[in-house]
């Protein structure tokens, strides 16, 4: 299946936008403009972008704490993302959630989660509602390799499989949960084999190949609609530390450098050039567009008001 | 009015709401043909089918979270947790997810779900099946907490809980399931708003503030005091811990000047402390003729031996003694 040019552009742009967003966010940290923490997905852009770009707006996602690529993939507004990152009133959560809790129900994101595997039962329930309402849409549940060892993983996959719910479980295997290598946290190399225990289909993909991820997600969506849940593992790598503070004593520089050669953006760019889909000049322009958008987002966020303490009780309860 | 059991009242509240609103689904372990561990849902799967009355795997975390996710996506799920003790397994999804959702996402969505669970001792089920954990959930902003003491209240409050747009923890009382009481006819669609206390007995000499299965026990003692012309005791059933009807408590304290707070849950960190504070922090303080007193369960796990089990929660004797101390 050859992808239309517009899809290639979308994938390339969203990956660049994610990287630009995070690199800028990291700079804002260094400048002391952000408090709290953030989890960057640089090196993993193809996962969230590839999967979410293959979805429709009405398809739902639950995101992880490392989910800027997922949100951008699902067409979230980076102005409001950046504003939330800076804790501003105009942010997605009115400055109350921060970047671990970004959500945009209007584009189908049921939110990022600060609890490892916290979104897994929620995604299962969202898919239950879809099935109950005979919706044509599915829910995609993102989680990490570390999350695959939580009880919520087992309970959710089992429940979704016995009820044949339309949920695609996407494991972003970046090889580590904080400092702990999957070699130490599980006795298997291929996480997708866990699908067998639930009687569902499991596949493992190169998590840095955005085109393939996009195509496989399209197929997975059809599978999920027809047969119920599926487990898709995207093997990739996190380039930066786990969060703001991480001396990275648990891995070697060589290992990081080796993975950097597999940069998903570089690989996509090479593919686009080799296949004559875009010229260097056109791709540079896309890159410029992403940089401009992020610059505008920072400006929007910095010029936005701080939330007011008078509104602190808003939204504790619904009416 | 007709007399039905507390369990039947809960069944009717769910069934009547489910007939009217197809967005209500019901999830739980063995709630289908088995009818639930306490028989509360008997007949429901026959009426509503497997799509709406869903037997689940034994996965408290996942079913609670799935209810939250379905609630975020347009349904109004009811979850039955077989024993309220097993809320401990569901706590992550209840406390970190369902309760926080609306606030942390800036008011984008809501989580209209009810988590029903039976609590309390007295069945010989011992340490892990007898606790009263309401203070745990009352401590979490974003959750509402209800504990009914009569069939009438159970039905009316559960209807409001199901219609509420927030996660509501509805704690039932095992020992009350078989107790009968007057409830309006089926056609009479009444409900009781959350956050309104009920004066179960009017009196002028002392106020007992209580909830759940301690309500009938306190009423028995109050009647005895009246018969003996010893004192005229008011008994207030708070019915919902969150939101709490503070005004009703303060007004009654002002009226009688003496207050005893009774609950089955362990006294330390129990909700009684919150009730006492509500009174002594208010202007009712200036009306008090005696210190406000608490009578909670002993700070021990619920033991198995029936004599021991009966002694670790407020008994009629202990309530009587506490009242005499205050009068
Ligand atoms: C229940 C829970 N335990 C621990 C943490 C702390 N924590 C945050 S992220 C993380 C690692 C998660 O690993 P993984 O699921 O692989 O995601 P990754 O960070 O690698 O993207 C940990 C331990 C948490 N947030 N929630
Ligand atoms: Mg990981």
Tell me, which fold does domain B2-183 have in CATH? Rossmann fold (3.40.50)
Closest chain B residue to A138, measured at CA: B73
Top-level class of domain B198-326: alpha beta
| Residues less than 5 Å from ion ligand 2, measured at CB | A 144-146, 174, 177
- Summarised one tens digit per residue, pLDDT across range B68-80 is 999 999 999 999 9
Q: What is the pLDDT of residue A34?
A: 86
How high is the ipTM of this complex? 0.88
Q: Is A67 in the pocket of ligand 1 (CB under 6 A)?
A: no
Q: Inform me whether the C-beta atom of residue A121 falls under 8 Å from chain B C-beta atoms.
A: yes
Model confidence at A120, in pLDDT bands (50, 70, 90)? very high
**In chain B, what are the domain boundaries?**
2-183, 198-326
Average pLDDT over residues B10-25: 98
What one-character-per-residue DSSP string does chain A give? -PPPHHHHHHHHHHHHHHHHHHHHHHHHHHTT---S-----TT-HHHHHHHHHTS-TTSEEE--TT-HHHHHHTT--HHHHHHHHTT-TTSTTTTSS-GGG--BGGGTB----SSTTTHHHHHHHHHHHHHHTT-S--EEEEEETTGGGSHHHHHHHHHHHHTT--EEEEEEE-SEETTEEHHHH-S-S-GGGGGGGGT-EEEEEETT-HHHHHHHHHHHHHHHHHH--EEEEEE----S-SSSS---TTS-HHHHHHHHTT-HHHHHHHHHHHTTSS-HHHHHHHHHHHHHHHHHHHHHHHTSPPPPGGGTTTTSS--
Catalytic residue of the set B52, B54, B116, B129: B129
Q: Which domains does chain A have, with CATH numbers?
A: 5-26+43-78+101-246+260-296 (3.40.50.970)
Which listed ligand is nearest to A175 at the C-alpha? 2
Domains B2-183 and B198-326 agree in fold: yes
Q: How far is residue A166's CA from residue A60's CA, in Å, rounded to a whole number?
A: 11
Q: What is the pLDDT of residue B20?
A: 97
Q: How far is A92 from chain B (nearest CA, A)?
A: 7
Q: Is A121 in the pocket of ligand 1 (CB under 6 A)?
A: no
Could you say which of B66, B106, B141 has the minimum Cβ distance to residue A121?
B66
Nearest one of A85, A158, A139, A145 to A117, comparing CA atoms: A145
Q: Is A144 in the pocket of ligand 1 (CB under 6 A)?
A: yes
Mean pLDDT of chain A: 96
How many whole angstroms from A146 Cα to the centroid of ligand 1? 6
Q: What is the pLDDT of residue B77?
A: 98
**Are B199 and B190 spatial neighbours (Cβ–Cβ below 8 Å)?**
no
pLDDT of residue B120 exceeding 80, the answer is yes
**Are A215 and A1 spatial neighbours (Cβ–Cβ below 8 Å)?**
yes
Nearest one of B113, B125, B236, B89 to B169, comparing CA atoms: B113
Q: What is the pLDDT of residue B134?
A: 98
Q: What is the pLDDT of residue A99?
A: 84
Are the Cβ atoms of B69 and A317 closer than 8 angstroms? no
Are the Cβ atoms of A97 and B104 closer than 8 angstroms? yes
Nearest one of A235, A216, A217 to A145, comparing CA atoms: A235
- Summarised one tens digit per residue, pLDDT across range B142-170 is 999 999 999 999 999 999 999 999 999 99
Percent of residues, chain B, with pLDDT higher than 90: 98
Give nearest CA residue, ligand 1 atom 3. Answer: A116
pLDDT of residue A1 exceeding 80, the answer is no
Average pLDDT over residues A93-100: 91
How many whole angstroms from B316 Cα to the centroid of ligand 1? 50
Are the Cβ atoms of A105 and B106 closer than 8 angstroms? no
Model confidence at A244, in pLDDT bands (50, 70, 90)? confident
Chain B residues within an 8 Å CB radius of A163: 54
């Amino acid at each position: 299946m050859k992808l239309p040019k517009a899809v290639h552009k979308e994938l390339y742009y969203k990956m660049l936008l994610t990287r630009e967003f995070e690199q800028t966010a990291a700079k804002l940290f260094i400048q002391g403009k952000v408090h709290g923490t953030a989890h960057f997905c640089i090196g993993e852009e193809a996962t969230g972008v590839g999967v979410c770009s293959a979805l429709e707006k009405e398809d739902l996602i639950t995101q992880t704490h490392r989910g800027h690529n997922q949100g951008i993939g699902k067409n979230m507004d980076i102005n409001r993302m950046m504003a939330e990152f800076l804790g501003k009133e105009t942010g997605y959560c009115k400055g109350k959630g921060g970047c671990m809790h970004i959500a945009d129900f209007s584009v189908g994101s049921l939110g990022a989660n600060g609890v490892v595997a916290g979104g897994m039962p929620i995604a299962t329930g969202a898919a239950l509602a879809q099935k109950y309402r005979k919706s044509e849409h599915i829910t995609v549940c993102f989680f990490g390799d570390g999350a695959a060892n939580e009880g919520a993983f087992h309970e959710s996959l089992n429940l979704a499989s016995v009820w044949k719910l339309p949920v695609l479980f996407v494991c972003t295997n970046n090889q580590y949960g904080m400092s702990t290598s999957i070699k130490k946290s599980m006795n298997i190399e291929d996480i997708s084999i866990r699908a067998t225990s639930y009687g569902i289909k499991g596949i493992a993909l190169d998590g840095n190949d955005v085109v393939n991820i996009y195509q496989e997600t399209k197929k997975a969506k059809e599978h999920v609609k027809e047969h119920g849940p599926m487990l898709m593992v995207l093997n990739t790598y996190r380039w930066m530390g786990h969060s703001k503070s991480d001396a990275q004593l648990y891995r070697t520089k060589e290992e990081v450098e080796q993975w950097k050669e597999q940069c998903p953006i570089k690989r996509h760019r090479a593919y686009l050039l080799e296949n004559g889909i875009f010229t260097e000049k056109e791709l540079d322009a896309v890159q410029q567009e992403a940089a401009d958008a992020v610059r505008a987002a920072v400006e929007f966020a910095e010029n936005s008001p701080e939330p007011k303490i008078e509104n602190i009780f808003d939204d504790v309860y619904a009416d | 009015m007709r007399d039905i059991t507390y369990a039947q009242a809960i069944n009717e509240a769910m069934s009547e709401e489910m007939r009217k609103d197809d967005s209500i689904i019901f999830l739980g372990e063995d709630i289908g043909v088995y009818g639930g561990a306490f028989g509360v849902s008997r007949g429901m799967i026959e009426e509503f089918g497997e799509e709406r009355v869903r037997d689940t795997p034994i996965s408290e975390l996942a079913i609670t979270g799935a209810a939250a996710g379905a609630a975020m996506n347009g349904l109004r799920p009811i979850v039955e947790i077989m024993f309220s003790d097993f809320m401990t397994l569901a706590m992550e999804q209840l406390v970190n997810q369902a309760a926080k959702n609306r606030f942390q996402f800036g008011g984008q969505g809501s989580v209209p779900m009810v988590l029903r669970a039976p609590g309390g001792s007295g069945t010989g089920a011992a340490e892990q099946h007898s606790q009263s954990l309401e203070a745990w959930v009352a401590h979490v902003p974003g959750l509402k907490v209800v504990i009914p003491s009569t069939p009438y209240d159970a039905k009316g409050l559960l209807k409001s809980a199901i219609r509420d747009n927030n996660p509501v923890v509805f704690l039932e009382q095992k020992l009350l399931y078989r107790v009968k009481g007057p409830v309006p006819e089926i056609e009479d669609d009444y409900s009781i708003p959350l956050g309104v206390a009920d004066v179960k007995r009017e009196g002028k000499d002392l106020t007992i503030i209580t909830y759940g299965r301690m309500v009938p026990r306190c009423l028995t003692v109050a009647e005895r005091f009246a018969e003996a012309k010893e004192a005229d005791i008011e008994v207030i059933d708070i019915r919902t811990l969150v939101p709490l009807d503070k005004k009703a408590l303060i007004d009654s304290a002002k009226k009688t000047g003496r207050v005893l707070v009774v609950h089955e849950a362990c006294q330390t960190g129990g909700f009684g402390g919150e009730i006492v504070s509500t009174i002594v922090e208010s202007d009712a303080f200036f009306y008090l003729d005696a210190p406000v007193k608490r009578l909670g369960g002993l700070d021990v796990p619920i033991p198995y031996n029936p004599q021991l089990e009966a002694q670790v929660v407020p008994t009629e004797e202990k309530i009587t003694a506490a009242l005499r101390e205050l009068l």
